[in-house]
Structure 1
Amino acid sequence: MDNAKFEYLLRQGDNALILSQQLSQLCGKGPALEEDMALTNVALDLLGQTRMWLSYAGELEGHGRDEDRLAYLRDSREFRNCLLVEQPNADYAQVMVRQFFFDTWHYFLMRGLLASTDQRIAEIAEKSLKEVTYHLRRSGDLVVRLGDGTPLSHAKMQAAVDELWTYAGEMFIYDALDEAMVAQGVAPHAEPLREAFLQHVGEVLLDATLAMPSPEAYMQRGGKQGRHTERLGYILAEMQFLQRAYPGADW
């Protein structure tokens, strides 16, 4: 088994899975019916992408673990998602800023993965890109509408940007595993992704009349290596409950 590639696939699948779970918790709680449906559809898109990443990871591992076992039968220290996606649904401003930061990175990553030397990864990126493009357009539009909206919505959006910015850079902090994937031609380099991220985020925040924090600010890290906030434990407790309570349940 190529352990580095297996771990890299887990990182992609876990990011999509945890954010999907976070968004699914908002079903029935959106600020408007149309928005409620949109959040749920984004969650479903991410869940579909999760299945592709984790299915490939399970096949590569060769230990009989499919996407369900990888999703429901790992503990928090075995998850490889970035810290951004496990930040709480504190209010709608934080939900949308979290989504926008993730979508921007996700979009440029999928574009980069189209050129992956691993054909399966390139195919997953190609299948995901149409959905991810829509996600980015939607979240960016809402950031502008809310940031350049009422004084209250502007204040809430600025607070969310300031609070979540420290989690927005982990995706570009490459470790030895990431560098191994770059060396093999599997993954794109970090710096072009970071530059594209900063440019797009800067343009959208400017349109939204929101101040962009310093790109050189300290960034939280550790999620990709399995060091998470306490929030992930609560997310997994809810997501994994049925499978843990009734192992092997089928319907």
Structure 2
Amino acid sequence: MALADYKHPYVTVDLLLFSIIDGKLAICLTKRDEEPFKDMYAMPGTFIHEDESAEGAVERLLADRLGLEGNIYTEQLQTFTDITRDPRERVISIAYIGIIPDMNMVKVPWMEWFTIASSNVGYEKLLKVGDGSNASFISNSLGFDHDEMLHIAIDRLRGKTQYTDILFKFLKDQKCFTAAILREIYQAIIGKEVNRGNFTKYQMNTYIENGLINKIGSTSVGRGRPADTYAYIGGEKLWIRS
């Protein structure tokens, strides 16, 4: 059969943009202003143009919709192909994870931040950041199949803390940080508290042994003894915890 005999599905990219806010993993969402799923929150996304790649569409989304330019970390998560995921037409979505170290990098008013907490019904509870309303909802209230995307993305992030340098993408300052700062990020991603001594003994030593970080000095923290400071030097190098 000729290519013209096949109907073209639409293809989009959706971006799950994460940061750490108040010691919690957070996701950046937009409220839809048109159908389908009008007035529901969803991931920011865009249709892929005929003259661009999926990665190019993500870069355009970051720059044009979110006002983010420069070295923003992104990676492809998964392609979502359920035939009913968009009630308008057959739309395939390529989802990407994005990470920024500071929520204030997103300045556009149509994007809102929500911290993520586990609920007792198998979904994440999303709590709106910054308006004092304590407005929250369960992630299965997201438009399209974006609750599924969120579950998969969180699982991906948690898994990658064990074998990649993903943790360091959340650092505001990769050239000078303490074990306490890195432990807070680690706890936010995995969703539970980690013993301080064990984190320093096992995690930090693993990072050093695998050439991801160097100890560079110390800094005073409260009334206790000075805390060691580190610099991230690992680039994209992978590591595997023994």
Same fold (TM over 0.5): no
TM-score normalised to structure 2 length:
0.29
* Structure whose residues are more often helix by fraction: 1
Higher relative contact order (CA closer than 8 Å, sequence separation 6+): 1
State the structure with more CA Rg.
2
